[in-house]
Amino acid sequence: MEASATIVAVASPPGHGLRGIVRLSGSSSLRICGLASDLCAGVVPCVLPWDGSRALAVVSRAPRSFTGEDCVELLLAGHPALLDDAVRACIERGARAAEPGEYAARSWLHGKRSIDEAEGIAMAISATSDAQLRAAQRLQRGEAARAVDAARGGVATLLALVEAGIDFTDQEDVVAIGGRTLAERLGPIVTNLRTLHATPVAGAIERPAPWVVLVGPPNAGKSSLFNALLGLERTVASPFAGTTRDTVPEPVSVGGQEVMLVDAPGIELPRTALDVAMQEQARQAMDRASLVLRCVPPGDTLPKAAPHELVVLTKMDDGSTAPHGAISTSAHRGVGLDALRAELATRLGSAAASESAEGAALLPRHRAAIDLAIAELDAAAARARAGGASLPDAELVAAHLRAGLDALGSIGGSVTPDDVIGLVFARFCVGK
């Protein structure tokens, strides 16, 4: 990443939208957009110099911007072709296309973000569940660095005591720390690091979320029940058959665990090519399902449920009870939903997704650093313990302590090797 050039990229999500964002960062950002070089930070209307069209420009001046550089965000009509044209025009006027993660990288280079905060942005971009998003937010708040703060402080104190015994032995008031005492004080630090090291990686999914698929004939009330279980209007519920034409998956919490609730197209005899495609989607969803909810509207015959199926009576607005083995629901009145959720939790049990994102906000890089620190501190403790009351190998002990401290210091931002930085920011998408 060449850090002196002004970079540009589309920073809004892919596809069509009411508004789109083209983001520039660098010393030439204002000039490229036709804005005065002495313009203060704020939102200003502007006329784009390449085609004369109007836009809003959000101006941030260095060093008080996300990247620490002069930044301009152009708010344009959200058509992908228009946004791409704006990017090309900026490149023609002297900008360079941004590489993936380059905005966050510049923020780190200018001291605006720690490496953990930058990695938290990457985790948020790739999050596929609320739990993973919470882990990303904790990482951005610096929880990983705080998790090793006590160990880092303790090791730094012990290193200072060892080095004092090496460098100031001619001072009468300096008493070198003994090997046995040093080993005893390192013990709790290493134990705490081992406990932290055993914490699952933040955001790692130990097993995929199981699918719970709602199936049944057209107009059986599947979409209404789907929305009621989610607590929001995710799909269109209509009295007309065939409204749901695609499988619609949505994560939902059941008994404290995450499952993927899926609204499938109605099952019927296909008459057109579109019907065939809809039925194939429904079949594929059922094949993947851990549990199938067979939705039965009033008047239909109750099917015999397979072991991985649950019969759900829908549209039971009159409050009628269901026969044994089935559950009566009314999405309109909210009846039977709690009983259905409880049955789902019981049926799925340990099959529900278990996410480690609720643990410490640790990444594999952090775990490797903690592992290295433990090894170095163990080596320091072993040499210190061998010295008994004295510390004959003080220089070697100090070297191990310094290496352990450096490993712990790499958590929270003091990472400089180019290969590590490249791996971190390669996980970003362009425009972030």
Dump the DSSP string for 17-86: EEEEEEEEESTTHHHHTT--TTPPSEEEEEE-TTT--EEEEEEE-TTSSSSSS-EEEEEEEE-HHHHHHH
Least trusted range by pLDDT, from 73-87, 198-212, 265-279, 400-414: 198-212
Per-residue tokens: 420: 């590590």
Dump the DSSP string for 89-141: HHHHTT-EEPPTTHHHHHHHHTTSS-HHHHHHHHHHHH--SHHHHHHHHHHHT
For the CA atoms of the chain, what is the radius of gyration?
30
Mean pLDDT, residues 281-297: 85
- pLDDT at 243 exceeding the cut of 60: no
Pick the CATH number of 7-98 from 3.30.1360.120, 3.30.70.100, 3.20.20.10, 3.30.2310.20: 3.30.1360.120
Secondary structure (3-state) at 331: coil
Q: pLDDT by residue (tens digit) across 378-396? A: 999 999 988 788 888 888 9
Specify whether the CB–CB gap between 87 and 11 falls below 8 A. Answer: no
The DSSP letter of residue 353 is: B
Specify whether the CB–CB gap between 343 and 229 falls below 8 A. Answer: no
Cα gap 100→123, rounded to integer Å: 14
Cα gap 212→233, rounded to integer Å: 18
- Quote the mean pLDDT of the chain: 80
Does pTM top 0.85 for this prediction?
Answer: no
Per-residue tokens: 19: 């508004």
Q: pLDDT by residue (tens digit) across 146-187? A: 778 888 888 888 888 887 777 655 555 545 678 888 999 999
In terms of DSSP H, where are the helices of 168-321? 179-197, 222-230, 273-288
Mean pLDDT, residues 312-341: 84
Cα gap 224→233, rounded to integer Å: 8
Per-residue tokens: 430: 């362009």
Fold of 211-351: Rossmann fold (3.40.50)
**Alpha carbon distances (Å) from 82 to 17, 21, 24, 77:** 11, 11, 16, 7
Sorting pLDDT into bands at 50, 70 and 90, what band is 335?
A: confident
CA dihedral of 325, 329, 338, 261, whole degrees rounded to 10: 90
Sorting pLDDT into bands at 50, 70 and 90, what band is 271?
A: low
Q: How far is CA 350 from the centre of its chain?
A: 23
Specify which residues 54 forms β-bridges with. Answer: 47
- pLDDT at 368 exceeding the cut of 90: no
DSSP strands (E only) in 98-238: 211-215
Q: Where are the domains of the chain?
A: 7-98, 211-351
Least trusted range by pLDDT, from 208-222, 314-328, 411-425: 411-425
Phi, psi at residue 392, to the nearest 5°? -65, -30
